[in-house]
Structure 1
Amino acid sequence: MLNVDEKIVGVLGATSMVGESLLPLLTQAGRQVRAYSRQVVNKSCENVVWRQLPPASSDSKPGLPISLLGGSKTVASAASGFSMDAPENIKYWLCVAPIWVLPEYLNFLEHHNARRIVVLSSTSRFTKTDSPDPEERIAAHRLADAEERIRVWAVSCGVEWVILRPTLIYGRGRDKNISEMARFICRFGFFPIFGPALGLRQPVHVADVAAACISALQTPGATNRDYNISGGETLTYKQMVCRTFAVLGRRPRLVKVPIGVFRFALACLRMLPRYQKWSVAMAERMNKDLVFNHEEATRDLGFKPRPLVLTAADVPSR
């Protein structure tokens, strides 16, 4: 039987795609949720208390524990921009916001007496390190840097940590992968590919990611570890696109585009806000294997991801 403190779980990034899947799983498990978001959320959910996360100030010192700031709650408050009045004791935390924002809130977590934290990162920290796109290389560096800063902070504060790195996440019609494919197909009636598009992928459903987060939170043997979590099926990029056509009720229409034409078309597409982050590097990766073993997560966390069987709930409503 969990005591009151053990029932409470703080969630950072509660309005995110993974956060939306997490909250009902936590309440079903008998947890009392403190759901944090940078936005004001007006929702009424049983056993979920919504709170607005205050922004970190520009002069914050992310990653420095209170003890290194002179041991003073007042000093920590000034350094981090947080109100330190009457903190609630929240020992367990799940961070499903972008991992690179978490170092800005480590003092906040320490002030709430965090003792264990599960953080969502991404396998992109490995797959984009040698990307020809400088923005992607920067993103990979930010992921790796945030992971290291969290580890250093956790060790210095005696906080147990687990880092989960999912592969390509899909589901709920909110992801930037299969859902974006579906939007493109619905808008233009085809999907462009570069070369044979035979690079291997392991899409992982958002619900499986959420379940892995909860398992990592409550598995004592999984402490101070990082895990790669991938989908239950390995398929080619081309097959993934074809399944997206299928769930939309459309016959696959894939158009092979030479890289030169792709560059020109991309320059035009990026004039539209939705496609501003598309890059040539994304096209080149269509023929690169992005495969990660999740045996350790299966062994320690009971992680059993589903194969890629798309439903209407996984893509945006039309």
Structure 2
Amino acid sequence: MKEDCVGLLGATSLVGGCLLTLLTEGGWQVCAFSRKKIARHMAQVTWRQLVLPGQNSQAEGIADWICVAPVWVLPDYFSMLERYGARRVVVLSSTSRFTKEYSSDAEEQKTAAQLAAGEESLRQWAEGRGVEWVVLRPTLIYGFGRDKNIAEIARFIRRFRFFPLFGPARGLRQPVHAEDVAAACLAALKSPAAANHAYNLSGGEVLPYREMVGRVFTALHRRPLLVSIPLGAFRVAVSWLRLFPRYRHWSTAMAERMHRDLVFDHAEAVRDLGFSPRPFRLGPEDLPA
């Protein structure tokens, strides 16, 4: 069993990239898994391609695992984790399991159900095999221009020079930086108190949706141009935008949530993981190229 080695699923994702940096800087050896074959060479990192469930794969002992791939795909790799002798598994889920559970959009409801089912599958599998589990649920991840939240807003502003809002859009948000999420993953791997617990990870600042978008304008060095439109007009606009592949996932449910407070207490993560998220400050590196 390799005591200083971490297995990492979803290593090419936004949070996965942050974790690779943290782990290698901390002296860990990393066995990084991806669905695609990776030819990248990094000190202390061994890349492996995920094989289909049921196929044999090389499996020396690795006790500590972090999964930042979608939680609902993890059950496909439970048998692989068993072959490697996993003893603790830290998994990234999302607060969307709560905020989208009763969404008006069927696809968002499906996502919430997949998140909840993935978490429950992990718990049942781990407890049945004496494996420690930790679930982390971030809300509104951003960073390095690779996220699907702030980066998408920035791309829209660059393209259309304004941003549409449904009404006053004063629902509260807590954006959390990908590096802070990665730090929480690593802390959860090492914290004895974290075993068999779930934690919400929110950002270090609470601000209205409207102000959050305004800060994206500021980071882009543009004067904020926020256009409030009624829901009916928003539906028409979204129907048009979905003709473009980049905006195919947009829905009127996104507009409806602009009025809702999507804030989560992260006091338990502070207590057990030393979680200390930064305020919402966008640097040039956080914007898409």
- TM-score over 0.5 for the alignment? yes
**Paired residues, what number?**
289
**Equivalence for 1:293:** 265
Counterparts in 2 of 1:6-85, with a 5 A limit? 6-55=3-52, 80-84=53-57
**CA distance, structure 2, for counterparts of residue 94 and residue 190 of structure 1:** 39
Amino acid at match of 2:233: V
- 1:101 equivalent to 2:73? Answer yes
- 1:113 equivalent to 2:85? Answer yes
DSSP-derived class of the 2:3 partner = helix
Structure 2 residue runs without a partner (length 5+): none
- 1:218 equivalent to 2:216? Answer no
Tell me the CA shift for residue 42 of structure 1.
Answer: 1.2
**Equivalence for 2:214:** 242
Larger % of strand: which? Answer: 2
**CA distance, structure 2, for counterparts of residue 81 and residue 274 of structure 1:** 35
DSSP-derived class of the 1:91 partner = strand
**CA distance, structure 1, for counterparts of residue 265 and residue 55 of structure 2:** 40
- 1:182 equivalent to 2:154? Answer yes
- 1:311 equivalent to 2:269? Answer no
**Equivalence for 2:229:** 257
- 1:133 equivalent to 2:130? Answer no
Amino acid at match of 1:162: V
**Equivalence for 2:141:** 169
**Equivalence for 1:149:** 121
Tell me the CA shift for residue 81 of structure 1.
Answer: 2.1
**CA distance, structure 2, for counterparts of residue 227 and residue 288 of structure 1:** 21
DSSP-derived class of the 1:182 partner = helix
Tell me the CA shift for residue 82 of structure 1.
Answer: 2.1
Amino acid at match of 1:115: R
Amino acid at match of 1:146: G
| RMSD of aligned Cα (Å) | 0.8
Structure 1 residue runs without a partner (length 5+): 56-79
- 1:279 equivalent to 2:279? Answer no
DSSP-derived class of the 1:256 partner = strand
Deviations 1:91-122 (A, max 9, x none): 11000001111011111111110000000000
Deviations 1:235-279 (A, max 9, x none): 000000000000000000011111111111111110100000000
**CA distance, structure 2, for counterparts of residue 148 and residue 270 of structure 1:** 33
Amino acid at match of 2:120: E
DSSP-derived class of the 2:193 partner = coil
**Equivalence for 1:91:** 63
Amino acid at match of 1:22: L
**Equivalence for 1:77:** none
TM superposition score normalised by structure 2: 0.99
Tell me the CA shift for residue 150 of structure 1.
Answer: 0.3
DSSP-derived class of the 1:165 partner = strand
Of structures 1 and 2, the larger Rg is shown by 1
**CA distance, structure 1, for counterparts of residue 36 and residue 218 of structure 2:** 36
Tell me the CA shift for residue 30 of structure 1.
Answer: 1.1
Deviations 1:49-82 (A, max 9, x none): 1111113xxxxxxxxxxxxxxxxxxxxxxxx322
Tell me the CA shift for residue 24 of structure 1.
Answer: 1.1
TM superposition score normalised by structure 1: 0.90
**Equivalence for 1:230:** 202
Aligned-pair identity in percent equals 60
Deviations 1:144-179 (A, max 9, x none): 011000000000111001000001000010100000
Contact 1:94 1:213 in 2 (8 A): yes
**CA distance, structure 1, for counterparts of residue 193 and residue 255 of structure 2:** 40
| Of 96, 103, 110, the match for 1:124 | 96
DSSP-derived class of the 2:275 partner = coil
Amino acid at match of 1:176: K
DSSP-derived class of the 2:89 partner = strand
After TM superposition, the runs of 4+ consecutive aligned structure 1 residues lying more than 4 A away are none
**CA distance, structure 2, for counterparts of residue 175 and residue 223 of structure 1:** 28
DSSP-derived class of the 2:192 partner = coil
